[in-house]
């Protein structure tokens, strides 16, 4: 299985798997996000909000209009092993957007096996995973640099925003 993941990773990084696209995910059986703080009516902030893995900061773009901050999360249930997660939640009515960082994945091989039933692809020349949970949450994550992966998840009504948010992450 690891050899297959390594072959797929090489193919994805060389452009065989669609390049910079954020493809449509497929259904899986795991749940992705467990919120840890209650919702607040605070509006989404403009660019400059950042999340960190140790000394590595990831700057988030402004969230789409109409979304309000609704808390944070420290766990992704879809991960095959326990890693440090720091994330923020936004919402509009019953739709949710999750953006976070996953800390501790050092190699592309480790990253490729991080989520069961995910699809390996590439994003900006880096390994990326995409999957959909049983509840319909669309998930996209890429290895920004060794030790730091960026995660974006959205309910179906906001899934079209994943590409724009990913493009704005710095």
Is the model's pLDDT at 12 over the cut of 70? no
Class of residue 141 by CB neighbours under 10 A (exposed 0-12, middle 13-18, buried 19+): buried
What are 36's two structure tokens?
């840890």
Is the model's pLDDT at 51 over the cut of 80? yes
**Cβ–Cβ < 8 Å for 131, 78:** yes
Q: Give CA angle at 58 (98, 137), nearest 5°.
A: 15
Say what the pLDDT of residue 35 is: 56
pLDDT digits (tens, 9 = 90+) for 71-99: 999 999 999 999 999 999 999 999 999 99
Say what the pLDDT of residue 73 is: 97
**Cβ–Cβ < 8 Å for 59, 81:** no
pLDDT digits (tens, 9 = 90+) for 137-166: 999 999 999 999 999 999 999 999 999 999
Q: Where are the alpha helices (DSSP H) in 1-152?
A: 2-13, 108-112
Q: How far apart are the first and last CA of the chain?
A: 33
Three-class SS of residue 157?
A: helix
Q: What is the dihedral sign for C-alpha 9, 126, 52, 44?
A: negative
Say what the pLDDT of residue 170 is: 86
pLDDT average, residue stretch 26-54: 56
Class of residue 96 by CB neighbours under 10 A (exposed 0-12, middle 13-18, buried 19+): buried
User: Which of 128, 121, 132, 130 minimizes the C-alpha distance to 156?
Assistant: 132
Say what the pLDDT of residue 1 is: 47
Paired with 47 in beta bridges are 49
Domains with residue ranges and CATH for the chain: 2-168 (3.40.1000)
């Amino acid at each position: 299985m690891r050899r297959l993941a390594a072959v797929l990773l090489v193919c994805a990084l060389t452009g065989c798997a669609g390049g910079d696209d954020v493809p449509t995910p497929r259904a899986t059986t795991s749940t992705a996000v467990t919120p840890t703080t209650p919702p607040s009516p605070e509006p989404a902030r403009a660019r400059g909000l950042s999340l960190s893995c140790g000394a590595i900061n990831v700057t988030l773009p402004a969230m789409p209009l109409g979304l309000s901050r609704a808390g944070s999360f420290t766990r992704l249930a879809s991960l095959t092993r326990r890693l440090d997660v720091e994330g923020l939640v936004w919402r509009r009515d019953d739709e949710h957007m999750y953006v976070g960082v996953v800390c501790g994945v050092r190699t592309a091989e480790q990253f490729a096996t991080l989520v069961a039933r995910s699809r390996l692809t590439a994003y900006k020349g880096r390994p990326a995973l995409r999957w959909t949970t049983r509840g319909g949450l669309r998930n996209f994550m890429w290895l920004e640099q060794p030790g730091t992966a960026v995660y974006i998840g959205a309910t179906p009504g906001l899934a079209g925003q994943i590409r724009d948010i990913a493009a704005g992450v710095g």
